[in-house]
Structure 1
Amino acid sequence: MAAFIVLPFLVLLLASSSLSVNIDFTYNGFKSATNLSLDGYAGITSNGVLQLTNDTSKVTGHAFFSSPIQMLRNTRSMTPTTISFSTIFVFDIITARKVGGHGLAFAVAPTKTLRGGCCRYLGLLNSSNNGNSSNHVFAIEFDTIPKSSMLVDIHENEVGVDINSIVPNISITTSYYANNSKTVNFKLESGQPIQTWINYDGVAKILNVTVAPFSVGKPSRPLISLPIDLSPILKKYMYVGFSSSTGEISSSHYILGWSFRANGMARSLDLSHLPLPPQPMKDSPTSKFSRIKIGVISSIAMLLLVALAFFVSWHLRQRAKLAETLEDWELDYPHRFAYKDLYKATKGFKETELLGSGGFGLVYKGTLPCSGEEVAVKKISSNSRQGVREFVAEVVCLGRMRHRNLVQLQGWCKRNEELLLVYELMPNGSLDTFLFEGEKCGLLSWDQRFKILKGVALGLLYLHEEWEQVVVHRDIKSSNVLLDADMNGRLGDFGLARLYDRGKNPHTTLMVGTFGYIAPEVSRTGKPMASSDVFAYGILLLEVACGRRPIQHDAPMEQLLLKDWVRECKMRGQILEAVDPKLGESYVKEEVDLVLKLGLVCSQSIPEVRPTMRQVIQYLNRDDSLADDVALVFSEADFLDLASLNSYLSSIATVSSSSLSGGRCERVR
């Protein structure tokens, strides 16, 4: 009986030992190393050097201690604490050419099988998760090549601290302090071993990082001393190890020795017994002569092959076509794509990649060469009434918006007078294709149409009231409502959008938009307001319910303007006569009746009597009722003077406090 009691206890004891907070190991070379998990291009050379990558382009390599380490105590408490840990390692970066890349990192991660990308991502993260707080990745990076300017960190030969992102929280040029004051810089790609000390005090919450060449002892002053609490970043159990990657240019990344200890100081390495990495082969006199001989023959051949001159000329023209000169201010705005990347993504803006066209530009399907992500690229001409710099500033600001019913604006590019906007790709295209070309893509049911209209309303509410500034879209129409894989409506194309601070009036601007959707007051004042977006949304409501464009040129005169025709049907008490005949009887009459009446309310000529988007959503969700006696048919011409208009607005306010009076019905001054 005692044996049965003791046995489970021993099992629990053994299990807990594998997750110990007091792990302590030292590798003076890795020839007989155990308890290491390797993947990618990582491996151990014959003389015991841990190799993360070789001189191969665009590869990654990882080497982690196989057992997880308990990094947090009191995890059930409201304030878990991080353990202290210390590590010492010696690494060497060897480049066969003059330059290499991209570097390596010591990493603390929740898994030992990272799915990180190559190049600038150092094998830690990738384009889809970079910067996410859910990564729980802490790393000390040794960066040997500038990252993309889109990733902010454009420096090289630096030591940095990464928190859930490959953009460092802090980075300092690789150096050490001699005599506790003088800074001595050195190259990570010197080809000589470099020793690193990393210590984290979980009580004082201080991170110290020290680096020095192999021949120099540990400096008394760390290169980086950063106050940081790792408890929100780390999970209870984490893995420690190394990650590295190469890009178009490459290096071989080696670890010669490694010591680690949790809850204590790591033991010093025996530097005299560390193995040396393989050195790149030096050119022999014979190989040099061979190269000279080949060069002479190639030069003579180039002179004889006159036909190649045409190819060279064509190649130079292509380079000139893709060349771009950046102005200084462009570097201040993130999310900028290189023109050549967008050119390659769209196959040179090939006609076969064209998704659609409109009055303000062409939209192409593209696949980004680095990440493989599918995008939509819109080419537009710059607005001569607004500076390009101001335009880009607004585009970058819009790129920060996040809402499930808005198409994500991912970035921009400027080349000469041409502006390009990059959006996420919507697989089901635009709403107008389904409404007016149903034979190609299928008929939209009423349930689908109603859901799409609700989604667009939610997106507009976010723009008008829930984001940090008021955003007026200025081009709401069915062709700018895009459908994702689940047929959800998402408002896209922010090329004409304008932003202004809450409580302030927007500046007068050039009247833009699409005929049939432009509110009457915009043609007079040129001022984009949230109420003008509501007008366009009202036209969209009618368009979706009736299956007709706002202006039907081939229709009888009385049906030429969709809004006037629906208004006439309402006056005759036959509003359902305007419903899209393609729906047959397959629709909910109450919902269609609501959408048509709400479309008339939203598209009234007088902006003061239009509802807000919050009220529109309340009507669509049946949280509020649309009073039938609220005027749906009046236009601006029905009011001969200001007094009659004020009288009318006052009468509306007394009809129903729950209808259109909230927020919009106020006297004209």
Structure 2
Amino acid sequence: MLVKSVVLLLLLWRSEASQQDDIGFTYNGFRGVDMSLDGLAQVTNNGILMLVNTSMQQKGHAFHPHPLHFKNSSSGSVFSFSTTFVFSMFADVPVSDPGMAFIIAPSRDFSASWPSIYLGLFNHTIVGKSSNHLIAIELDCLQNLDFNDINSNHVGIDINDLKSVDSAPASYFSDKENRYVNLTLYSGHAMQLWVEYSGPQRQLNVTLAPFDVPKPSIPLLSFNIDLSPIVLDPMFVGFSSATAVAEAPHYVLGWSFKMNGQAKDLSLSQLPKLPRMGPKTEPEIFSIGFPVFGASLVLISIFIIQFIVRRIKKFAEVHEDWELEYGPQRFKYKDLYIATKGFNDEELLGSGGFGKVYKGILPTSKLEVAVKRVSHDSSQGVKEFIAEIVSIGKLQHRNIVTLLGYCRRKGELLLVYEFMPNGSLDKFLFHHKSTTTKPTLSWKQRFQIIKSVASGLLYLHEEWEQVVIHRDVKSSNVMLDRELNGRLGDFGLARLYDHGGDPNSTHVVGTFGYIAPELYRTGKAKPCVDVFAFGVFLLEVACGRRPIQFQGSEERLVLVEWVISSFNKGVILETVDPKLGMNYEVEEMELVLKLGLLCSHYIPTARPSMRQVVCYLEGEVPLPELPSLSDIDDGVSVLFPYLKSAVTSQSSFANSLLSGGR
């Protein structure tokens, strides 16, 4: 008898699960679809679900007509579910249009709800009460400080209240550009929204994208929540919308829902077309008289001539006879201009003291490149500089970004590099959640990047046909490829000399905080200069801090000094990047921190060579014990006697860099 009861319970459980698996629907347009509508909600002749029209202070609701069971009757947990819909909102006065929401509610009766800021969901007496048992994904175009809205163009998750438990500015993650791109909800353009809840993980994800963009890999909102206390059984699913001004229609073009599974993709080509938004403009060509038409022809002719002349000047380059020998390594300015869409700000990858870097696609080969625009003095030394650029272009190493060539115009030099899709390392180390979506690198990834950069520097110093001194080793010049492998880039400041030779003195160039102190005295760029910068770089990666942080008009924190102080106290691991937590190998971390101090030693001869550095990092030889540094009272004045004066007169230091040029 007991066995029969167990079997019966299993059969009932499988039957219930099967029924839940079958719950789902897909509407590619709403013509002929049975929907429960109230208020201003209606289905137009071409199959669009219009929630509100151009009336003021009104509301509308549209629900799937049948209630759905969201809970497992035996465990009381909420099933996983998924939905997606295409919508459009338009407003002549954007900041006065509240918006719309996808809702899960215990009832379809919202007769007591108010329009405008209450989105047709609540009124002032019931908003925020736990007895509402309502879940909403709001698409809000009005900032209401009473509800803690972040702006007038955001997506939020609402639980029984219009104070969102999580919200974000309307945007989507572009997998192609590897960044979030802003969207305007009230633009009148069609957009698609995905709402997905994982019952086992108790996680609610909301993803937004333009109409013609596939579902992004990273959601806009991801919120951990157990919906079982909020959800009653059964519940209704649908949409609510409210308007505060005229000319603010809200539309839903298609809708798909699935319980215990992934909602079917909407067939975007089958969705109804949106009606025309805004006033229709009539062509004025027929109202133009012949005299005006003749005058226009003359003006057009003058414009064409001026355009041709400007275009010739626009793409003019500086060519000298000695450059002919460099042949293929010189790019045409016109090709680089087209590749970067006219050096459009949308293609800007980054900028620094020596120029801006743009992403480009070469028009003929379709090769992705990074183009750096640099100002230069065209009087003396350009020939030698170009010769070094071309020589550096011959470098071939897996941990070095390839310099493909250059282009020269009057007063401007353009350097063309291999494109690195993940950008520079500093964006990962120092990112802020409010401005970027770069993930935190694990210690394993960081340690591999450190070893990659060390290998690249060893190649430059000892393994190529000449000695190459990079002179600008820092995290922003370490680029990451698709697999997050580190590659040293930006050789715009590099200098070369023969093995066994002695480098000539040059202007002091580099980046504030990475310049070896002896360079201010000698002006000679030797391998030990790169080793010093690499030591600062090691501490930068391990500690997640910049070399120098200015905390006020006078105060500054020098990274090396801080790590030395912690080393003296025997707590060097307290300097580890807090974002890593305890997720790192202690021996590797101690090695990197101590090696960073050794490489950034103020005495050049005390620093190891890059070959020794690679051996330490690979574990081929142990790192020697560091001497006690407890006698150092002022790390800045002792370790950085020349840097200290630069810190106190930063502007004059910056001017010396700029006047030094290339």
After TM superposition, the score normalised by the length of structure 1 is 0.49
**TM-score, scaled relative to structure 2:** 0.49
